A and B are shown apart, each in its own frame.
Chain A
C-alpha cells in the first residue's frame, strides 16, 4: 500500500512565485492535514479537512490555501511564496473512527514530506 503520497519531494521557488503541493492517500481516510516542520519548532498544523469539500484553518494558516475536491486528495497552495515559507511540509491523514474509551480520533499517518526552499 502506498499510504500517503506527497509530490513533489523537493522544490525551489523564488519569492513571489506560486505552487501547489499535492497529497494523495489510498486508505479511504476522511480526515487530511497539512503540517510544516521547522528546526526547533516541531510540527505545526497549517490547514486540515474533515471531508470532501470542507477545509479549516490550523495553527499557522496565513499565506496558504487548501482544497479538498476529492476525498483522496488534499492540495496545499502558496499564492505568493515568501522566504519564511521555507520548510518541510508534511501531509497526513486519519480515519474518523473514534476510540471508544477516550473518544479521541485515530492516529495520523504521514507522508514523506516536501522540502520547499524559497529564495
Chain B
C-alpha cells in the first residue's frame, strides 16, 4: 500500500533552535495533516493543509503543502522543551464512500529538545 516517509526516526535539537521535518510520498494527496503526540496521550492536530503550495502557520509552527502534492514539511521555530513528542504527518485522498479510510499516516518523528 501507499506509504508516507518520515525520516529520521528521531531528532535531537537544542532549545531555541529551529527544526524542519519532511514527509514524502510516491502518491498524490488532496490533504496533508500534521499531528503531535505528547508522551502518554493521543495525537493532536497541529495544522491541516488543503491546497498545493499552501503555507499555513500556527504560532511557532509553519507547514507547507508541496507543489507536487507528494510532500509536506513542518517547521518549528525557536523550540522549547514542551515541543518534545512524536510528530506524525498524514495524507488524505478523496473519499468516495465516506470516512477517513484513505487516511495514511507516516511512522512519526520523535523530537527531543535539550534545555
Contacts and interface: CB of A to CB of B under 8 A. Distances in A.
B100 A103 contact: no
A22 to B, nearest CB: 15
A101 B98 contact: no
B68 interface: no
A104 interface: yes
Contact of B51 (A33, A101, A111): A101
Interface string A10-34: 0000000000000000000001010
B93 A112 contact: no
Contacts of B100: 31, 33, 48, 94, 105, 108
B108 interface: yes
A92 B93 CA distance: 18
Contacts of B40: 112-113
Interface of B is mostly: loop
Contacts of A104: 30-31, 50, 92-95
Contacts, number: 81
Interface in B29-43: 30-31, 33, 35, 40-43
B105 A43 contact: yes
B44 interface: yes
A42 B105 CA distance: 7
A96 interface: yes
B13 to A, nearest CB: 21
Interface of A: 4, 31, 33, 40-43, 45, 48-50, 56, 58-59, 90, 92, 94, 96, 99, 101-105, 107-113
